Structure 1
Amino acid sequence: MQRGGGCLSGLQRTGSQIASLYPCSNASRQVLNLSGFWDFRFDPGDAGLDAGWGAGFAPQRPIAVPASWNEQFEEALDYLGPAWYQTRFILPWGWSGKRVRLRFGSVNYLAAVWLNGAHLGEHEGGHLPFEFDAAPYLRAGENLLVVRVEGELAPDRVPPGRIPPDPRDDFPHRNHPDTSFDFFPFCGIHRPVVLYATPRDAITDLTVRTELEGTTGLVRVRLDRTPGDGATARLSLKGHGAEVAEEVSLSGETAEIELTLPDVAPWSPEAPNLYELAAELSRGGEVFDRYSLPVGVRTVTVEGDALLINGEPVKLRGFGRHEDFPVAGRGLVPPAVVKDYALMRWVGANSFRTSHYPYSEEAMDLADRLGFLVIDETPAVGLFFAEEGLGRRLQLCRQYVRELVARDKNRPAVILWSLANEPHSKRPGAKEFFRELYGLTKSLDPTRPVTLASMHEEADEAFEFCDLICLNRYFGWYTEPGMLEEGFARLSEDLDAAHARYHKPVIVTEFGADALPGCHSHPPEMFTEEYQAEMISGYVRVLEEKPYVAGQHVWNLCDFKTAQEARRVGGMNLKGVFTRDRRPKLAAHRLRQFWNARHDEDTRKERA
């Protein structure tokens, strides 16, 4: 049951706080991971609030955290209504008097949180972290944490669902559950839940921006801290045979420091060099807080028809993906994260888009380490622009932009911000909607280009101010079905027209075809592995011929679960070049031949 567009009736509305720095353990900071088996019960009658379950409830069964609930229990596949989680923990020794925060990596969709019966607050929207001040409510002995989660679909939520039919909007298909997007609306606590302790006077945020001047790297750092007495802030960079440091006196809550790295080792896909940035606060020569994070020195720019990394043109080759795995749903599965990177590397990919929501911080850490380029996308998928609820959808999109930039601003792997996927943006209000989001994103991070992924063939007015163009195209599948040559010709014409209209680099962020694993035909027919392989191969050949095409992302890396709908056999989107359990289809082998050959050719040209 949706209550007031996301707010829970009967509770004083208190919001969560944006979470930026990922918790770490060191001499001044400690982390308690609360993931594991929690108590759980469904609340289909929405009785828990009035019954006071925030102070504790009689559990029905255990549940794994992190994970979606939909595939853990047979009766819960399509259940999106209220459900309750609780767990007990003992506060570690020595945490008394410290600044203690309770942090959630992702809860989808609406979360309300109680600690020892005290309502800490709420957070709306999945896929991004949030946290609360837990210190005033903690006990020296056993503590009880309760979370109410609700994932109902509604028109004024983002992503929206249960959208009323309107001939001016293009939602031709209805499905179950009634989403406006083509992936399953998994519910639950999807990423780790941690309690972390810092000193009262602590570093709260670091913002890193890098530049290259010849062989010299410039690293500008803004340090934010909690209010406190005067202190000394020391920042150091170490790695690749270099170590530099600077100190400043800190009387207020912020400090800005520039570090210079002679003979810098830049970060790039070919050489993902990382330095360790360490920030320390001290008083009287004694260090009382420390935080470190990896830093990659690199630049991202758009010039003419090219996307440049460190001043050199780059061609993105990779995938759209989903955080989707059997039983766990959208929950974090570390082995699956490792496997997906290995598969992408095997195929020859250098990039991916976080379609259609931000991926886990753990997965993003590996992108930095492994040198994958990332188009980082907000959860704004399936947006529509009817007046009713539009203001609230814009408010949520602003929130998501702020949360995403705060979380991922320091990651060298993130090279583009994507504001939305396939917005239904034919109405006049869409242009100003995205103009505002573009301006907000640029104000928070002027160092990265901003875009969105469009499905429209006609002019998309938001591209007027986006820094480059991202297009999702399915000629030969949803149009020209079974007619591949006609689809390839139409793709070529469409790309030329888009470039002529906007005069900006183009990335084709989706293309592909469904293929039932083990289904074959000669000649190729739709839904066979041969048809999928031929369609993807033909698209790649067209894209490689266009000098203004800066990237190609196949849809999708792996098959993934969807709502039930006539086009979705078994409730699955089968456009993966790997199956949901990561077995290759013919298209994966074909892509490997194309992309590895192209990579070898690009390397030879660079050396020549």
Structure 2
Amino acid sequence: MKIFSFLFFCCGLIFSVQKGLAQLPSTGEEQLSLNGKWAFKTDPNNLGEDQQWFTASYPALGWDKMEVPGNWDTHNKYAHYAGKGWYRQEINVPANWQGKTIRLHFEAVYHDAKVWLNGKLLGESHSGFFPFEFDVTKAIKYGGKNTLVVVADNTFKRGATWNWGGIRRPVTIYINNPVRIEQAHVLATPDLKNNTASLNVKLQLRNTSNSPQNIKAEVTLSDKNGLVKSAKLDQKLALSVTLPPNSTTPYTLQTTLPKAQVHLWHFDDPYLYNLEVKMTQENMTQHQVKDRFGIRKLEVDGLKVKLNGEEVRLMGYNWVPDDRTTGNTLPAWRYKADIDLMKKAGANMTRLSHLPLPKEVLDYIDEKGILVFSEIPLWGQDALVDANNPLPKQWLKQLVHSQFNHPSVIGWCVGNEIGYIGANPGVMAYVESAISYVKKELDNSRLVVYVSHSADNQKTDPVQFSDMILFNKYNDLGKQADKGYGNHPGKPMFYSEYGYNLTNENLNLGVIDAKGMLNSIRNREYLMGASLWTFNDYRSAWQAHAAWNTAPTGNRSWGIVNVFRQKKRAYEAFRKEYAPLKKLTVQHAGQLTPGRSVKTAVRLQPREILDLPAYTLRNYKLVWEAQDTHGKVVQSGFNILPVIKPGDKTVVSNINWKVPAQNPGALKVTLLSPTGYDVYDTLVYLQKPAAPKIKQIIPGENGVRVLFEKNPAAEYYVVRYGKNDLSSRSDTTINHYLDIKKLDKDQVYQFAVAGINNLGEGAPSEPVKSTPKTDLLPPVIWYTEAADSSFFIGYGYENFDYLYTIQYGTDLNNPAKTKTLQVTTRGLCRVPNVANGQPIQFRMKRTVQQYVESGWSEIYTVTPDGNGPKQTPPVKSVSRLGEEAIIGIVPVPKATGYEVSYQENDINKRVKINSAQADYLVVQNLKKGRSYNFSVTAISQNNNSKEAAPAGKLTTSTQQ
């Protein structure tokens, strides 16, 4: 985007602000986003401050453009840059901002930052994960141009993750009246015996003026059903006070919710309440804030962890909140997709991240239901592990104050793997003082913990101060857990990290022994859960030893999904082991012949009481879909399941369905959680897979690469090959290709691909002939991602690669419409300066260090999208039972949610589902016996997709 375009955008915002600033909007607060393209320049020689790049008069000629929020590492030329990066932006400030309080807020800059306004240093920040802000009321120039300059320095590394550089989260100017609400915390304490709940609303009210201010504050509570009435009937919580000048004053309001108004928050029932606080003077709104909270009780009872009085044994994943295309900026589509994928794979409790997470991420976790330990970024041997150093306690204060209202946060963590006394001599005093500080001064309603990797080796270990034993270990998991608990008995243990070794970036080779891992730690009374390291592969430069070294791509492959969130074989293995049922099997009455009606018994075997996981299932559903060989659903339905507890006998749920009369493919049976996640499924195939189609064969490296289209009825694929027949057979793969090596060059071979499911190997494709060569094979194209005026390519590598060449354009057969880009980055590159909405073809080749080139890869097409989904979500199925319908869809990349549209009594109705990777959309409160046509639209941050074709016309009478 050109600078002129950005300034025009800003002026448009300021114009709307100017119209309203004489009287601020009904919230009493205006927000001006400074997100967009900023002028940018790296400073590897540290010249910027000496040459005064921060002054308003500095010309900044030839500077690049960089998106805010953003990371410079997502651009090819800055992909490995560590050092200082300078940002500049001009802001036109209207004169009628005078008399207001103006704050400049940075949500996060990695890692060290300095900020200047009009050449004056405002201050510094030295944590890349916490927000910081400056009161610029007196520093800003009203009625004119202001120059904002930021220098970010990403030299500092924290742990084994990548040091993503830049202004990584949004920048906002807040315009307030002189009095405002700084904080509104809700402490909700349920009485499980009487089913009531006490609420303490703790306010911090700020007066920035030089005189006392008489104000009124009013608190309103509501939920999805409307206003929530307290024990004082419909009386609102309110106060009238005089705020002292230039001060922040705390106040507390209390009430009790009766039984009828209490709905407890649970990971399977994440019920949320709305909080609204309004401050007024002379009946004029001065400030208004809104937030959400939940009511739940998490307690340690001996060796049991109880949620709302019921024992739970829960599993989860550690999440490194970044990816290779958006860095650690965390756009909504990325964090929502990741959380959805973790929930599908059984995540209900976790030490999710070493890092503080943004509010909107925790908002989504609140809504979806994961119990989280929130942590400050203190790791390893560190001078900050010191009871007398104020910085960790400052971080803890920021963490607690910013995340207090989130019911998903069940504990505060004061540090990770800092426990060896030889490395950190002050660790015992630090952990004891930090935990005491949180409990006594910040929050005594939650657990306060420390993550130990030394509890098995030290009888004197800081874990003794922790409310639970959070424990990190790799290999010999059961033995090490027993040893750690033996040294520190009496408290439940949660494996906050567990694993063996790195897996592989290749989806087919990304295998982890999930069953073996979990069986080694199951059935221990003291061990109530575990969190795998990690959910996702992540960028890193960490090198440790042969089994733990980061690959040349810079992608550290611990995950069950890769850096592009493609599922490895390990994903389904952990999804099965984390499922709330031990086993789901089907048994048919009669033969599965085409067109025949069948009664099928679905047998649901509960977990044992000391299993991992183990918790009660309420309001779960069993969804079934009969598919043809193309994956098209021809019939579907669902059953509502009874309450299932750990240790119960096997539950049987019967379904009545008809085998597809033509091309019968499979019966899919899915366990659907109350939050809409398909947490377990099984496919009963009705015939072997049809023959796949070979797309292309590329000869090279004494063999060939066979690329093929996948078949919905196949789980794995093999290549059959030979000179005169198809007697040779490759290993199986889940990938879209197979490399066949060690063939005789200049000899003609024939190749065919066959799919495999649980009925066996299907018929092979039509054979295709090819002659192996010694040429280099091109890179494997793993992934493409459309972006704003650009696109990303994720590709394979070899250790001796030197250069990658990308040829791209609207027509690769026309040289006039084709461009070439060369990069040396392995695994990922960005192709810039292409038009949004225009399909672009591309292909790649690689050059090794001897300057030998490969041939070209297959041709792919991608359409840059301006960071919004353009696809229509395909609708697979619609099931109806009484007042409820379940719509099966194929999730759309970059969607942040979906909208289901239908008509009732000639009234258009719309239901929004806030989920990025939902496979099933639940619509409730339908009229019994009435027909409905449903349409589905994908929602994004920037725009919506076109509506899907009507999903079907259904009446209750046609359903089960």
Same fold (TM > 0.5)? yes
Q: How many residues align?
A: 532
Kept in 1: contact 2:317–2:532 (CA 8 A): yes
Larger CA deviation: 420-429 vs 507-516? 420-429
Q: CA deviation at 1:188?
A: 1.4
Larger RCO of the pair (alpha carbons < 8 Å, separation 6+)? 1
> For the structure 1 residues 391 and 423, does the alpha-carbon distance in structure 2 shift closer, same or farther, using more than 3 Å as the test?
closer
Which of 156, 170, 185 in structure 1 is aligned with 2:163?
185
Kept in 1: contact 2:473–2:480 (CA 8 A): no
Kept in 2: contact 1:66–1:332 (CA 8 A): no
Q: Distance in 2 between matches of 1:94 and 1:365?
A: 34
What residue in structure 2 maps to residue 403 of structure 1?
Answer: 398
| Residues 11-160 of structure 1 mapped to structure 2, 5 A cutoff | 26-56=26-56, 57=58, 58=60, 60-74=63-77, 76-91=78-93, 95-138=97-140, 139-153=142-156
What residue in structure 1 maps to residue 485 of structure 2?
Answer: 499
SS of aligned partner of 2:217: strand
Which of 252, 263, 267 in structure 2 is aligned with 1:269?
267
Q: CA deviation at 1:26?
A: 5.0
What residue in structure 2 maps to residue 569 of structure 1?
Answer: 551
User: Per-residue CA shift, 1:85-124, capped at 9, x if unaligned?
Assistant: 1122333685332112111111111111112222211111
> For the structure 1 residues 46 and 543, does the alpha-carbon distance in structure 2 shift closer, same or farther, using more than 3 Å as the test?
same
Kept in 2: contact 1:384–1:424 (CA 8 A): no
What residue in structure 2 maps to residue 510 of structure 1?
Answer: 497
Q: CA deviation at 1:300?
A: 2.4
Kept in 2: contact 1:107–1:189 (CA 8 A): yes
What residue in structure 2 maps to residue 541 of structure 1?
Answer: 519
What residue in structure 2 maps to residue 215 of structure 1?
Answer: 195
Q: CA deviation at 1:240?
A: 4.6
Q: CA deviation at 1:539?
A: 2.0
User: Are residues 1:243 and 2:228 paired?
Assistant: yes
Q: CA deviation at 1:578?
A: 0.3
Taking structure 1 as the reference length, the TM-score comes to: 0.83
Matched to 2:175, the amino acid is: A
Q: CA deviation at 1:444?
A: 0.9
Q: CA deviation at 1:358?
A: 0.9
Kept in 2: contact 1:67–1:332 (CA 8 A): no
> For the structure 1 residues 354 and 318, does the alpha-carbon distance in structure 2 shift closer, same or farther, using more than 3 Å as the test?
closer
SS of aligned partner of 1:135: coil
Kept in 1: contact 2:431–2:450 (CA 8 A): no
Matched to 2:144, the amino acid is: G
| Residues 129-528 of structure 1 mapped to structure 2, 5 A cutoff | 129-138=131-140, 139-153=142-156, 179=157, 181-213=159-191, 214-227=194-207, 228-241=212-225, 242-244=227-229, 245-252=236-243, 253-263=249-259, 264-384=262-382, 394-423=389-418, 425-427=420-422, 428-442=425-439, 443-456=441-454, 457-459=456-458, 461-475=461-475, 487=476, 491-502=477-488, 503-512=490-499, 513-518=501-506, 528=509
> For the structure 1 residues 26 and 147, does the alpha-carbon distance in structure 2 shift closer, same or farther, using more than 3 Å as the test?
farther
Q: CA deviation at 1:424?
A: 5.3
Kept in 2: contact 1:69–1:187 (CA 8 A): yes
What residue in structure 1 maps to residue 946 of structure 2?
Answer: none
Q: CA deviation at 1:231?
A: 1.7
SS of aligned partner of 1:119: strand
Q: Distance in 1 between matches of 2:283 and 2:335?
A: 42
SS of aligned partner of 1:111: strand
Q: Distance in 2 between matches of 1:564 and 1:439?
A: 34
Q: CA deviation at 1:390?
A: 5.9
Matched to 1:124, the amino acid is: H
Q: Distance in 2 between matches of 1:197 and 1:506?
A: 47
User: Per-residue CA shift, 1:283-335, capped at 9, x if unaligned?
Assistant: 33333221111111122222211222223222231100111111332222221
RMSD: 2.4
User: Are residues 1:529 and 2:510 paired?
Assistant: yes
SS of aligned partner of 2:72: coil
Kept in 1: contact 2:387–2:429 (CA 8 A): no
Q: Distance in 2 between matches of 1:375 and 1:493?
A: 25
What residue in structure 2 maps to residue 10 of structure 1?
Answer: none
Matched to 2:203, the amino acid is: L
Larger CA deviation: 87-96 vs 235-244? 87-96
Q: Distance in 2 between matches of 1:555 and 1:236?
A: 42
Q: Distance in 2 between matches of 1:123 and 1:375?
A: 25
Matched to 2:68, the amino acid is: V
Matched to 1:236, the amino acid is: T
Taking structure 2 as the reference length, the TM-score comes to: 0.53
> For the structure 1 residues 598 and 473, does the alpha-carbon distance in structure 2 shift closer, same or farther, using more than 3 Å as the test?
farther
Matched to 1:137, the amino acid is: A
Q: Distance in 1 between matches of 2:436 and 2:274?
A: 31
Q: Distance in 2 between matches of 1:351 and 1:188?
A: 31
Q: Distance in 2 between matches of 1:69 and 1:112?
A: 17
Q: Distance in 2 between matches of 1:30 and 1:332?
A: 24
SS of aligned partner of 1:266: coil
- Per residue, is there more helix in 1 or in 2? 1
Q: Distance in 1 between matches of 2:158 and 2:358?
A: 23
What residue in structure 1 maps to residue 806 of structure 2?
Answer: none
User: Per-residue CA shift, 1:541-574, capped at 9, x if unaligned?
Assistant: 2333122222211111110011153611122210
In the alignment, structure 2 segments of 5+ residues that lack a partner are 1-23, 230-235, 244-248, 583-605, 608-614, 618-643, 649-960
Kept in 1: contact 2:385–2:430 (CA 8 A): no
Q: Distance in 2 between matches of 1:391 and 1:508?
A: 26
Q: Distance in 1 between matches of 2:352 and 2:109?
A: 17
> For the structure 1 residues 564 and 211, does the alpha-carbon distance in structure 2 shift closer, same or farther, using more than 3 Å as the test?
closer
Matched to 2:214, the amino acid is: G
User: Per-residue CA shift, 1:218-260, capped at 9, x if unaligned?
Assistant: 1101111113412222112111544232112222422210132
Q: CA deviation at 1:458?
A: 0.9
Q: Distance in 2 between matches of 1:240 and 1:216?
A: 19
Q: Distance in 2 between matches of 1:257 and 1:109?
A: 38
Matched to 1:439, the amino acid is: S
What residue in structure 2 maps to residue 593 of structure 1?
Answer: 576
Q: Distance in 1 between matches of 2:64 and 2:532?
A: 40
Q: Distance in 2 between matches of 1:92 and 1:275?
A: 38
User: Per-residue CA shift, 1:440-494, capped at 9, x if unaligned?
Assistant: 222211111111222223126211111111111111xxxxxxxxxxx3xxx2222
Kept in 2: contact 1:72–1:328 (CA 8 A): no
Q: Distance in 2 between matches of 1:25 and 1:543?
A: 56
What residue in structure 2 maps to residue 605 of structure 1?
Answer: 645
Q: Distance in 2 between matches of 1:597 and 1:376?
A: 25
Q: CA deviation at 1:25?
A: 7.8
Q: Distance in 2 between matches of 1:383 and 1:91?
A: 46
Kept in 2: contact 1:68–1:330 (CA 8 A): yes
In the alignment, structure 1 segments of 5+ residues that lack a partner are 1-23, 154-178, 476-486, 521-527
Q: CA deviation at 1:433?
A: 1.6
Kept in 1: contact 2:221–2:275 (CA 8 A): yes
Kept in 2: contact 1:72–1:327 (CA 8 A): no
Q: Which runs of 4+ in 1 moved over 6 A?
A: none
Q: CA deviation at 1:82?
A: 1.8
> For the structure 1 residues 94 and 319, does the alpha-carbon distance in structure 2 shift closer, same or farther, using more than 3 Å as the test?
farther
Kept in 2: contact 1:277–1:292 (CA 8 A): yes
SS of aligned partner of 1:31: strand
